[in-house]
Structures are given as structure tokens and as C-alpha cells.
Structure 1
Amino acid sequence: MLRALSHAMAVVALSATPLLADDLAVPEGDVILTVTGSLDVTNVDDSAQFDLAMLEDLDMTTIETSTIWTEGENSFQGVSLAVLVDALGIEGTTLKATAINDYAIEIPMTDAVEGGPIVAYRMDGNTMSVRDKGPLWVIYPYDSNSDYRTEVIYSRSIWQLDRLEAVD
């Protein structure tokens, strides 16, 4: 009887536990973003790998803004850096962001705030090709706040992003 009760309690406890982010699916399509470093949630070895569909499954944010690299105002859709950091349980003080060509910059974790930058995967409704600064581009809401129109912020606006590493 005690054994059956213990088993039943274990089943109830497990079924009542929400799916943790540790249950991040494995990408089915081409991996376009790999996150490593100090993170709680992984899906491939010690990393969190995302295909486009997985990024689209996270809360989408849209930023309407002009940039110094494009003509006029554009609409960018992607996942907020704050949402991504939260979803993966990322810790540390800095995100090292690296592009396909190994160009790398550092983004302080203090930038990962609501209303801050997004990891954009669409511009004007279209996925971005490597030729068009894709597949991922860190976009800040440049037009919404003059604090986002500085050389420092522009330098953090890395395109052709494919890797993030959480570092202390």
C-alpha cells in the first residue's frame, strides 16, 4: 500500500510540474542560432539551438524604425532579447554575439529589457537572407529613443548573427 501511494504521489507530482524550458525541442530545420555559456535551458549538449520555427514560437515583437543601413522606416519582427534571455535562463553580465563571418561584439545584459533590442528574423514581413543581413539581425528601436542612436548601440546591432554566448 505504501509503495503504491508513493508511486501515485510521484506520478501526480510529475504530471503537475509544468514542462520546463529544459524541454526545449530539438531543431527540425536548419539551425540559425546557437546559444551557449551560462544558461539553464539546453537542447543539444550544453547549448540551446534554434531553427526559424522555434524562434517564431517565442513571443514575437515588432519594431518599426529606420536604421543607418537601410532606406526609410522598416518593420522588423523577431524575439525580444529580454524574452530570449528569460526563456533560456541566461545568466552573466554580457552576451558575446558572433556573426557567420566570426565578427563578434559584446552586448551587456542590461540591454535585455522590455522595449529594447530584438533578434530580428523578418524585415518588412520577409525572412532575411544572408545577403540582406540575415538570417538574424540585432535591432534596437532606434527611432523611439535617442539613447539608441549612438555609435555604441550601432556597433551592437550585429547582422548575420548566428551565435550568442552568455559570459560573466
Structure 2
Amino acid sequence: MTPAFLTRSLLGAYALAVNMTTSALGQDVIPLQVTTADTDAVAIEVSLETLESLDQTTFTTTTIWTDGDVQFSGVSLKALLAYLDLDGQSLEMVALNDYAVSMPVAELEDGAPILATRMNGETMSVRDKGPYWVVFPYDSDPKYSTETNYARSIWQLNRLKVVD
């Protein structure tokens, strides 16, 4: 091999490694963007570390999208809004692919739904419904196993908007 070929090969391998590392890290460090009715500009960016530093709710449930029992952990949406000192009439939730759903703030409970940051103890990659997934304890009460709550169970969530 010529030195120039070897140098190009090493640089190419380095670039591939950096790109793969950035992609892998990028999936788990996407901040949650929170806006209010006053502005469409991002008012607050909440990191995964901040979300996981708040009081966590953990439960095991089955879902219509996964196989068997799955353990979810994360902060309740009600607790997150209290932490951010935000209130309003409804919460608009938007995924990375722009799927959107709304939920009345009055229907948020202390333990449900949660903004899951972990599934079976692992942070969720974008490829596996992350970075954040709104989840209810579907098996704990029939009120959580409704079409309305299934529609609200948005995954790949990255934006919240609190609306008056």
C-alpha cells in the first residue's frame, strides 16, 4: 500500500467512527422542547439528565405495540409541568415525524401518564420509540386501556406545547 492510500483509508475509517458515535449519542441526547401558547419559539429545552433527575414513576405493563410485560420509568407529565411552572388547558404533544396529539391538562394524574425515558431499564433510542414515550399503566385500570389513551401514547416525542 502507498502512504497516500493508507492515509485516506485511516481518515475514512476515523470519519465513519466519528459519524457512528455522533449518531448513536444523538439519539439519546435529544432535548425535549417545551413551548407555551404565548410563543411558538422554544421556550425551554429539557435534557434527558434533567428529566431523569425529577421524581420517577416506574411501572410494568403490557402495550399493544410491544411483546410481553415491559417496565417503563419516567416523570409524570403532571410533575413535569409543575417543575417547569407551566399551566394551561391542554397539552399538545408532537413527535419527531410531526405526529401530534392533544390531552387536557385536567386529565393528567400524579402517576399517569408518564414521559418514559427508559424501557426495561435502558434509555430508548429513536429506533425503539425514543427518545421519549408517553405511556399509561394500561394494565392497572381499564380507564387507561382506551382508544383515546392509546392515541395519546405518542412515541418519539420531542415537543410539548402548553396551551391556554
Q: What range is the shorter-chain TM-score in?
A: 0.7 to 0.9
Confirm whether residue 74 of structure 1 aligns to residue 73 of structure 2.
no
Structure 2: how far apart are the matches of 1:79 and 1:148?
17
Does the alignment pair 1:63 with 2:59?
A: yes
Query: What whole-Å deviation, never above 9, does each CA across 1:23-73 have from its counterpart, x for those lacking one?
Result: xxxxxx94420111059xxxxx86121111111111111021110000111
**Deviation per CA, 1:111-166, whole angstroms, max 9, x where unpaired?**
32112110001000011111100010000111111011111110000000000000
Alignment partner of 1:153 out of 138, 149, 152: 149
Paired position in structure 1 for 2:21: none
> SS of the counterpart of 1:62?
strand
Q: Give the share of equivalent positions with the same residue, in percent.
A: 50
Task: Give the TM-score normalised by the residue count of structure 1.
Answer: 0.76
Aligned CA distance change for structure 1 residues 35 and 52 (closer, same or farther; 3 Å): same
Aligned to 1:126: 122
Q: Does the Cα contact within 8 Å between 1:95 and 1:107 map onto a contact in 2?
A: yes
1:144 and 1:98 map into 2 onto residues whose CA distance is 26
In structure 2, how many angstroms separate the alpha carbons of the residues matched to 1:98 and 1:141? Answer: 21
Q: Tell me whether 1:51 sits opposite 2:50 in the alignment.
A: no
Q: Alpha carbon RMSD of aligned pairs, Å?
A: 1.7
- Residue 96 (structure 2) aligned to one of 100, 103, 106: 100
| Contact 2:33–2:42 (CA under 8 A) maintained in structure 1 | no
Match of 1:34 in 2: 33
5+ residue gaps, structure 2? 1-27
Aligned length: 135
For normalisation by structure 2, the TM-score amounts to 0.77
| Aligned structure 1 segments of 4 or more residues deviating by more than 2 angstroms | 29-32
The one-letter amino acid paired with 2:31 is I
Asked whether the 8 Å contact 2:57–2:111 carries over to 1, the reply is no
